[in-house]
Structure 1
């Protein structure tokens, strides 16, 4: 499923944009879910706990928080895991701001259906080509982490695991649940550790040194299999 958000303070126009997205999805045979938000603030409130949108159609001229400010906030919070942002505006004065926040495209009102479909096609292609993400159900909502950012995952306590990426996220999930999602770039180095092979700088018989300086304990029985996995990976 592709999750799309439409953020526009003009109710009629937001409904029209939603229709265009649904028509595009129907023509392409795609499973798409669309949510509509009447302001930047309402979208941001939802996004802070559910960062699961793939595409954001974002009106530039809105109330207290404009679309450009919202886009910058999203990029700052989510980085590589941010949705594909498409600005929708009645003017072309904001193109430089679009480059600043890496917007996919600008659609000028009144929006043309064919142009909208072409932009959505580009967004869908980018989504399909992006690296997979881990979806973590944390206490403050769902967090999406690109898998290449994960350095390692270890056991925090029984039935809880911590994902170490740009920051640490502890979730109620057994470590074994992560293995299918993380293969083939990760190695199970014992009962309590899964490590990103691309993040390893050095391996000894008792420890793993990561490129960021982190040192992890290594079970002696895992030394030979880990070395084989590194060689096969390279």
Structure 2
């Protein structure tokens, strides 16, 4: 898989460093390098298939953060992501709000860059996989079972809730693990939205990042549970819900 990207920085040395890192990374393809956010905006318009921006924040005329907000208004941030590069750590929270994939603090090494690039590779790999998996592979239709509908790219997929093991939340998308599939379904929604679709008698959010199918729990301790091949440690926020589950678990 090749990820098309643009490097944006108004400092020539910083820009050239990012470009050199991109060129050393086999799965990244440099489409353009830009010395301002305005130039980058034009480049994005000229190259609508660009997926990833390595974007400096403090720049003259238009800041990287302002550019990120413009991009978010014009296209889904799920198929175009941003990795911020900056010398100022006070922008981390604002970067999260605009859906930044990662946040590199200058000066950063090639190892730091590679970790952020690997995160982008994992994201876009799952994104592409979700688009290519056929509906028939994901659906097990029986009339007497409950279902939910998940948005998987350009289609709604009907999923038998009886096959759900657990659901993992990852920022603006979630992974749904099934007992009849080797790979999870990737759906572009939030864990909170998905929690509201599921029956509370069968599913419970017992961790910030996980919803658990209660009948798929294999073992419990006083502060953790095991489902499929993972162990979920219960935090204080969910200890009351976990205590309620323990009282009825057998």
Using the size of structure 1 for normalisation, the TM-score is: 0.53
- The equivalent of 1:97 in structure 2 is 94
Alpha-carbon distance change, 34 to 45 in structure 1, aligned in 2, over 3 angstroms: closer
Which of residues 23, 39, 45 is equivalent to 1:42? 39
Please list, as runs of the form range in 1=range in 2, the aligned pairs for 1:42-61 lying within 5 A after superposition.
Answer: 42-61=39-58
Matches within 5 A, 1:1-234: 1-25=2-26, 30=27, 32-130=29-127, 131-132=130-131, 148-149=153-154
Measured on the aligned residues, the alpha-carbon RMSD in Å equals: 2.2
Q: What CA distance in whole angstroms lies between the structure 2 residues aligned with 1:23 and 1:120?
A: 11
> Unpaired segments of 5 or more residues in structure 1?
134-145, 152-234
Q: Contact 1:75–1:82 (CA<8 Å) still a contact in 2?
A: no
**Could you tell me how far apart the structure 2 residues matched to 1:31 and 1:99 are?**
23
Can you give the 5+ residue segments of structure 2 that lack an aligned partner in the other structure? 133-150, 157-250
- Quick one: structure 1 residues 40 and 147, their matched pair in 2 at CA, closer, same or farther if it must change by over 3 Å? farther
SS at match of 2:74: helix
Q: Which residue of 1 aligns with 2:247?
A: none
Higher relative contact order (CA 8 A, sep 6+): 1
Give the whole-Å Cα distance in 2 for the aligned partners of 1:31 and 1:82.
15
Cα distance in 2, alignment partners of residues 106 and 91 from structure 1? 10
- TM-aligned CA distance change 1:53 to 1:132, over 3 Å: farther
The Cα of 1:31 is off from its aligned counterpart by: 6.0
Moved over 4 A (4+): none
- Normalised by the length of structure 2, the TM-score is 0.50
Distance 1:6 1:59 in 2: 9
SS at match of 2:73: helix
Deviation digits for residues 19-73 of structure 1 (CA, Å, limit 9, x no counterpart): 1112122xxxx36234201111011112124221121100000011000000011
